[in-house]
């Protein structure tokens, strides 16, 4: 089983939105590196941190489980959607998504500031300079260490 960290601005989609939904699709990925991870590396049963970005206190707020393999993202085909992509052809879809299942909120959010303060986590892609990918891998050790901070 693998571990991931998945970012979302809470104004767009928050951990509470996922909690309310139970299971939801993770649509709107429009970055090729991230799409390739969804397509090639994601497996049902993988665990992921839910990270709130672009908010007063960015950080890890909960966990979820990957609940499907990658499949075409229909929002790419709909001109009314914010993430419509006229170049994504339903015959050969360019953008993919997965389903995710809410697991739980952490007892307390772990802020980005705090993640940065731990030597154990300096290798996390999330913390590397210039990283902007909305999905990044987490090693088993990093996962366990972050869980121990809760």
Partner DNA sequence: GCCAACGTTGGC
Under the rule (CB under 7 A), what is the footprint of DNA?
A: 7, 9, 30-33, 53-55, 58, 87, 112-113, 129-134
Beta strands in 67-150 (DSSP E): 71-72, 96-97, 99-111, 135-138
Beta carbon of residue 114, minimum distance to DNA (angstroms, whole number)? 10
Cβ-based nearer residue to DNA, 44 or 49: 49
Cβ-based nearer residue to DNA, 80 or 132: 132
Cβ-based nearer residue to DNA, 59 or 64: 59
The answer to whether the CB of 136 falls within 8 A of the CB of 49 is no
Beta strands in the chain (DSSP E): 3-8, 23-25, 47-52, 59-66, 71-72, 96-97, 99-111, 135-138
Nearest 10 degrees: Cα torsion 4, 82, 111, 65: -30
Query: Helix, strand or coil for residue 145?
Result: helix
Beta carbon of residue 6, minimum distance to DNA (angstroms, whole number)? 10
Cβ-based nearer residue to DNA, 33 or 44: 33
For residue 92, report the phi and psi dihedrals to the nearest 5 degrees. Answer: -150, 75
């Amino acid at each position: 089983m693998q571990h991931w960290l998945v970012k979302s601005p809470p104004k767009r989609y928050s951990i509470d939105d996922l909690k309310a939904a139970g299971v939801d699709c993770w649509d709107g990925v429009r970055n090729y590196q991230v799409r390739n991870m969804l397509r090639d590396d994601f497996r049902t049963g993988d665990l992921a941190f839910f990270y709130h970005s672009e908010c007063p206190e960015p950080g890890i707020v909960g966990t979820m489980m990957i609940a499907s393999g990658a499949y075409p993202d229909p929002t790419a085909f709909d001109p009314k959607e914010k993430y419509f992509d006229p170049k994504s052809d339903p015959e050969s879809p360019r953008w993919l998504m997965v389903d995710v299942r809410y697991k739980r909120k952490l007892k307390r959010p772990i802020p980005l500031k705090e993640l940065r303060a731990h030597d154990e986590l300096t290798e996390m892609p999330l913390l590397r300079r210039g990283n902007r990918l909305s999905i990044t891998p987490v090693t088993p050790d990093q996962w366990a260490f972050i869980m121990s901070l809760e």
